[in-house]
């Protein structure tokens, strides 16, 4: 399965055992459609995990557009109040970075004036962490 969206916050790393970490991040996916002749937009938020390496976390920053390959998983549990809860999570196998984040764009603009007007330039996809 493939999904593409924008990161809504910087990725975080969480320890799950002594020798294993997981990188977590949240993706916003926009969908535009017409309903009764009116243009509408809907945003879905997807919780994502990447288990292969936590070294990618500093590169996944708010505002980036990424393309993910992986699969959905479902989790169910009972809350402390006894209420049944459930969530969907995207387990990421491969990440392709399609753009720079606003943070990276600003940093590059300050350090390299020639790139200042080029904030939205698409960077080459990276397979470094896949």
Of all helices (H) and strands (E), which one includes residue 5? Answer: strand 2-7
Note whether residue 120 is domain-resident. no
The reported pTM is 0.71
Ranges in the chain, pLDDT < 70: 101-130
Residue linked to tokens 């993910």: 68
pLDDT in tens, 72-103: 999 898 999 999 988 889 999 999 999 876 66
In a domain, 121, yes or no: no
CATH of the domain at 31: 2.40.50.140
Q: Which two tokens stand for residue 115?
A: 């790139």
86: buried, middle or exposed (CB in 10 Å: 19+, 13-18, 0-12)?
A: exposed
Q: Is 50 within a domain?
A: yes
Q: Which domain holds residue 38?
A: 2-115
């Amino acid at each position: 399965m493939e999904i593409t969206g924008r990161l809504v916050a910087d990725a975080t790393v969480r320890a799950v055992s002594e020798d294993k970490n997981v990188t977590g991040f949240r993706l916003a996916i926009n969908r535009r459609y017409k309903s009764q002749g009116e243009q509408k937009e809907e945003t879905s938020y997807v919780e994502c995990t990447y288990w292969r390496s936590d070294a990618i976390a500093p590169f996944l920053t708010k505002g980036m557009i990424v393309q993910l390959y992986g699969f959905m998983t479902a989790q169910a549990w009972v809350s402390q109040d006894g209420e049944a809860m459930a969530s969907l999570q995207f387990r990421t196998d491969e990440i392709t970075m399609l753009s720079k984040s606003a943070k990276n764009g600003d940093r590059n603009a300050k350090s390299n004036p020639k790139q200042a007007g080029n904030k939205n330039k698409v960077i080459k996809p990276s397979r470094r962490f896949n």
